[in-house]
Amino acid sequence: MTERQRSDYDVAVVGGGLVGSAIAWGLARQGQKVAILDEGDIAVRPSRGNFALVWVQGKGLGLPEYAAWTKRSSDSWAGFSAQLREETGIDVCFERPGGFLPLLSEAEVEHRTNQLKRLHNQPGVVRYDYEILDHAAVAKEMPFIGKDVVGASYCPLDGHCNSLKLLRALHIGLDRSGVSYLPHHRVERIEQRGGGFAMVTAAGEVRSGKVVIAAGHDGRRLAPMVGLNAPVRPERGHIIVTEKTAPFLKHPVGFIRQTDEGGVMIGDSFEDAGFDTTVRNGVTSTIADRAIRIFPQLGRLNVVRTWAALRVLTPDGFPIYEESASMPGAFVATCHSGVTLAANHALALAPHIAAGSLPEEFKAFSARRFDVPKAA
Amino acid sequence: MTDLKNRYDLAVIGAGPAGLAAATLAAKRGVSTVLLDEQAAPGGQIYRAVTQTPVRNPSVLGTDYWHGADLVGPFRDSGAEYLPSSTVWSVSRSLEIGLSREGAARILPARHIILATGALERPFPIPGWTLPGVMGAGAAQILLKTSGLVASGNVVLAGTGPLLWLLAWQYLRAGARIDTILDTTPRENWRQAMPHMTTFLRSGYIGKGLKLLLEVRRKVKVIDNVTSLRAEGDGRVQSVLFRRGDGAEQRIPADTLLLHQGVIPNINLANATGCAQAWDETQRCWVPTVDAWGATSVEGVSIAGDGAGIGGALAAEHRGRLAALDALHRLGRMDRAQRDREAAPHREALEKAERGRVFLDTLYRPGKDFRVPQDDTIVCRCEEVTAGQVRDAVKLGVSGPNQTKSFLRCGMGPCQGRLCGPTVVEVIADARGVSPAEVGYYRLRPPVKPITLAELASLPKREDEIAAVAPH
Amino acid sequence: MFQRLPNASGERVSFTIDGRPAEALAGDSVAAALIANGVQTCRSTPVSGAPRAPYCMMGVCFDCLVTIDAVGNQQGCQVRVRPGMRVETQNGKREIER
């Protein structure tokens, strides 16, 4: 056996956004010595595009394991948030009041109904309640709902949190656990070195026993360096935020939610625009128009901010969690639901990384699924 | 708004000296020109209410102010379209202007745009600066110009910079009382400004400025070398605590505290449009990057006046004309040689107007303690975030204002960083031991002024924009 | 505390502040009119309930927010007083109905 060279860290996590921070937090709780390598102030930062939802309904059509993974995270979220609060004093305002996805035509209702039916008919899929509601049923819960809302799909497991407080709580927790957060450390290359890995950056080299690539869009470039594949692409989404308003909306309503601070967040849109995050007034206008159809009262509120951010999308939209076969100890973790899955990343994924390998249940999330030609 | 053209050749945003001069020159050459401004009357801030002020006695506001009226007449005769009470909340790279008027929003395209949105007072974060009764000296000047209102009771002015002295002089002329002026000009600035003294002595500032300064100092109690300030009071300002040099703290009563430490470019619209900007070490502020004609990094967008770097009202006028000439050239109405020829007298006038600025900028550069405040001072007024919280975020590894925004909500309020951005950058730079240039600035997006969701919803939408929002 | 210069001339405008009758000069912004009428605090903040009053008078600080004719969060310094206008000081967050 060759002597293993001493590494600076047990694990280097490449990426300090929602995914990287949650994994690093979980690793620290397992007693691992961790470094996070992050970029500087101006970086793509897809985490900025999050909608702060902890959302279950509708997820997993095409990959039933994802439905289970999502529900598991949602069920763990309250405990996760309690741990964060205990450790850092920050309440990330997790609420699970149930969520509505508004449907604005009979066609949408039919489409959604079929979608959810197919999802829940998948063999081995996890069971949980959901309902298709008509306008009257929605109005009972939210009397101010617009008349254009024909119905909604409702799930009692849907919720939301304050994602900025989440990121802050994670970073404070990381700091308290002695995790080294290294900004301005964009990873140029990852090399195998002396039984571990070396991350080569402009600010110097960082050595670790294991490496987790949680670098959002940069995963595409980095994964092959460790024998993995993360074929992610950017998808632009716009978000609108209004001025702080007295609480009137308890439930997250798909792409409309009121934050604990009072502002109303309104989304969502989907564009292939490469890495361009220029805000298009025509898109935000369409988003605004739809929101007013759903809640007419929103029309009089002032828009305080808009922004566009880039989702990190795999070819089927489901996460990739995988350990490299050719370079054991190298992992990739990528998804576009970094808030919903934060609890899992911290409490269900990190312990396996700490132990050194991912069990069988993660096979479904391997990127090799993209190599298999689809059955006719 | 149905009588507006579908597209103007030139849109000028801001009816201060730069905007008025630019629009006048261009329109006189037959270019279809529109001047947009959020105020109800022309003049911008420096010549605010020049056509409507209730302060009729010309000796109160001074001759420099009344020069603004000389710009309005020619503008009105130029043939340019004038849209007052119109707020511009967006300028896109494709030169579409998002504007809001009487609660209705619309998109107005142009072939060339000149931003002339001027400056705003540099934030002056001291403990207690959010108390009612504390306001900018510029704010007091606006109240004087537009409404003939002057502070009464115990009136304290504090800070540094020409506007502070001008306001004091205008107050004296109006018969208003000022109890004390707390001058925060750092002692060491004199030494640094000395090398630029000779140029300053040749400038237009020296005559009037010195006379004004001496008159104020003769009639008002001035305390020099003030190194710390705190506004105190229960629900509103009632006293000011200050320190002179290394001396003991002193307290004076105040019903109104007027703060001023210079003006800085209002960069929000330029930033949201995507114009490149850079840190200016002399003026110690962020400035959009422009060439000698005011052209920015965005094709078709120029900036004239204080919005491209503080130069004062007269310089703004000349820069406005230069930007208009360049616009005429870019619109194909004038070849390069003619543009350069016609520009010559304006360049000469500009050079003369800018003479002596470096001396003033150096002399009146605010002291560090007033740019990098103590922990308990609010830096973001909208979200009530303190300097200490920003420093804590830096300790966690946050390296710039955009990350700070995500961590603390700092800069997320309606003012969009106008009152916190400069301070946040300086606090981070100081905590990290790097220059503000390295720290960077907020990345802004439209709307740069609030519009209602309903106004936003009413805008025209392209097919692909609508398709982007369909359920996926 | 602010007072009007004795020779400041102009037409008078009648309006109300929190239901009470008040007067302004034509050309006054709502913020200026409040100041002229001795209103020291125009709102309390949505974050902490702290008292605020106009700070910049030019539309960049957003501290002069008041409710005008039942519409909340209007920048008082950007709106001219009109006869019969109903101006109200505000507390905290905007109400969805106003």
Q: What percent of chain A has pLDDT over 90?
A: 93
CB interface of A with C, residues 241-280, below 8 Å: 243-246, 248, 261-262
CA A9, distance to chain mean position in Å, is 26
A361 and A216 in a single domain? The answer is: yes
Q: Give the residue from B268, B243, B229 showing the smallest Cα distance to B422.
A: B268
Say yes or no for a CB contact (<8 Å) between B457 and A41: no
A8 and A146 in a single domain? The answer is: no
Confidence category of residue B3, pLDDT binned at 50, 70, 90: low
Residues C27-54: what's their mean pLDDT? 97
A146 and A195 in a single domain? The answer is: no
Residue C53, domain member (yes or no)? yes
**CA torsion through residues A157, A160, A165, A170, sign:** positive
Digit-coded pLDDT (tens) for C14-33: 999 999 999 999 999 999 99
Residue C79, domain member (yes or no)? yes
Confidence category of residue A7, pLDDT binned at 50, 70, 90: low
Put simply, whether B399 touches A (Cβ < 8 Å) is: yes
Digit-coded pLDDT (tens) for B249-277: 999 999 999 999 999 999 999 999 999 99
Mutation target to probe the B interface, by most B beta carbons within 10 A, among A59, A115, A304, A339 is A304
Digit-coded pLDDT (tens) for B341-350: 999 999 999 9
Separation in Å, CA of C16 to nearest CA in chain B:
18
* B452 neighbourhood in chain A, CB within 8 Å: 299-303
Digit-coded pLDDT (tens) for A89-145: 999 999 999 999 999 999 999 999 999 999 999 999 999 999 999 999 999 999 999
Give the C-alpha separation, C15 to C19, whole Å.
9
Q: Which of C71, C94, C97 sits opposite A244 (nearest CB)?
A: C94
* B453 neighbourhood in chain A, CB within 8 Å: 240, 242, 266, 288, 291-292, 298-303
CB interface of B with C, residues 40-79, below 8 Å: 40, 45, 49, 52, 54-57
A241 and A195 in a single domain? The answer is: no
Tally of domains within chain A:
3
Judge whether B231 and B257 are in contact, CB under 8 Å.
Answer: yes
Residue C58, domain member (yes or no)? yes
Give the C-alpha separation, A277 to A287, whole Å.
16
Average pLDDT, chain B: 95
Give the C-alpha separation, B441 to B418, whole Å.
11
Residue A74, domain member (yes or no)? no
Give the C-alpha separation, C38 to C23, whole Å.
11
Residue C6, domain member (yes or no)? no
Q: Which of B57, B174, B419 sits opposite C61 (nearest CB)?
A: B419
Give the C-alpha separation, B39 to B52, whole Å.
12
Residue C3, domain member (yes or no)? no
Confidence category of residue B322, pLDDT binned at 50, 70, 90: very high
Confidence category of residue A376, pLDDT binned at 50, 70, 90: low
Amino acid at A297: Q
Residue A263, domain member (yes or no)? yes
Q: Give the residue from A188, A200, A185, A219 showing the smallest Cα distance to A310.
A: A219
Confidence category of residue A180, pLDDT binned at 50, 70, 90: very high
pLDDT for res B134? 98
Residue A90, domain member (yes or no)? no
Determine which helix (DSSP H) or strand (DSSP E) holds B19, and give its type and residue range. Answer: helix B17-28
Subunits with 3+ C-beta pairs closer than 8 A to B: A, C
Residue A256, domain member (yes or no)? yes
A135, A156, A177 - which closes a domain: A156
Residue A171, domain member (yes or no)? yes
A285 and A261 in a single domain? The answer is: yes
pLDDT for res B143? 97
Separation in Å, CA of B236 to nearest CA in chain A:
24
Beta bridge partners of A103: A151
Digit-coded pLDDT (tens) for B324-339: 999 999 999 999 999 9
Q: Which residue of A has its CA nearest to B449?
A: A304
Residue A374, domain member (yes or no)? no
Separation in Å, CA of B433 to nearest CA in chain A:
15
Q: What percent of chain B has pLDDT over 70?
A: 99
Subunits with 3+ C-beta pairs closer than 8 A to A: B, C
Q: What percent of chain A has pLDDT over 70?
A: 97
Residues B277-284: what's their mean pLDDT? 94
Residue A256 reports pLDDT greater than 80:
yes
Tell me, what CATH number does C55's domain have? 3.10.20.440
A240 and A289 in a single domain? The answer is: yes
A136 and A175 in a single domain? The answer is: no
Domain containing C85 equals 12-91
Residue A2 reports pLDDT greater than 60:
no
Residue A176, domain member (yes or no)? yes
Give the C-alpha separation, B31 to B40, whole Å.
24
B424 or B199: whose pLDDT is higher?
Answer: B424
Say yes or no for a CB contact (<8 Å) between C96 and A244: no
A348 and A245 in a single domain? The answer is: no
At which residue do the structure tokens 């990121």 appear?
Answer: A167
Q: Give the global pTM.
A: 0.95
* A300 neighbourhood in chain C, CB within 8 Å: 71
Say yes or no for a CB contact (<8 Å) between C2 and B415: no
Confidence category of residue A374, pLDDT binned at 50, 70, 90: low
Instruction: Tokens for B306, please give them.
Output: 């204080």
Give the C-alpha separation, B432 to C28, whole Å.
46
Give the C-alpha separation, B446 to B271, whole Å.
10
Say yes or no for a CB contact (<8 Å) between B468 and A243: no
Provide the ipTM.
0.98
Helices (H), A55-179: 64-88, 106-121, 135-141, 163-176
Residue A5 reports pLDDT greater than 60:
no
Give the C-alpha separation, C14 to C2, whole Å.
19
A298 and A329 in a single domain? The answer is: no
Residue C5, domain member (yes or no)? no
From residue B447, alpha-carbon distances to B444, C13, C65 in Å are 9, 33, 18
Judge whether A260 and A162 are in contact, CB under 8 Å.
Answer: yes
Domain containing A146 equals 99-156
Digit-coded pLDDT (tens) for B352-410: 999 989 999 999 999 999 999 999 999 999 999 999 999 999 999 999 999 999 999 99
Determine which helix (DSSP H) or strand (DSSP E) holds A9, and give its type and residue range. Answer: strand A9-14
A258 and A294 in a single domain? The answer is: yes
Q: Which of A245, A297, A300 sits opposite C93 (nearest CB)?
A: A245
Q: Which residue of A has its CA nearest to C65?
A: A243
Residue A3 reports pLDDT greater than 50:
no
Q: In this structure, what are the phi and psi dihedrals at residue B363, rounded to the nearest 5 degrees? A: -65, -40
Residue A173, domain member (yes or no)? yes
From residue B44, alpha-carbon distances to A241, A316, B135, B272, C63 in Å are 30, 54, 19, 21, 20
A117 and A169 in a single domain? The answer is: no
A338 and A192 in a single domain? The answer is: yes
Sheet holding B221-223, edge to edge: B134-136, B256-261, B155-160, B180-183, B221-223
* A242 neighbourhood in chain B, CB within 8 Å: 453
Judge whether C60 and B120 are in contact, CB under 8 Å.
Answer: yes
- Number of other CB atoms surrounding residue A274 within 10 Å: 10
Tell me, what CATH number does A185's domain have? 3.50.50.60
A111, A139, A156 - which closes a domain: A156
Tally of domains within chain C:
1
Give the C-alpha separation, A371 to A64, whole Å.
19
pLDDT for res B207? 77
Residue B2 reports pLDDT greater than 70:
no
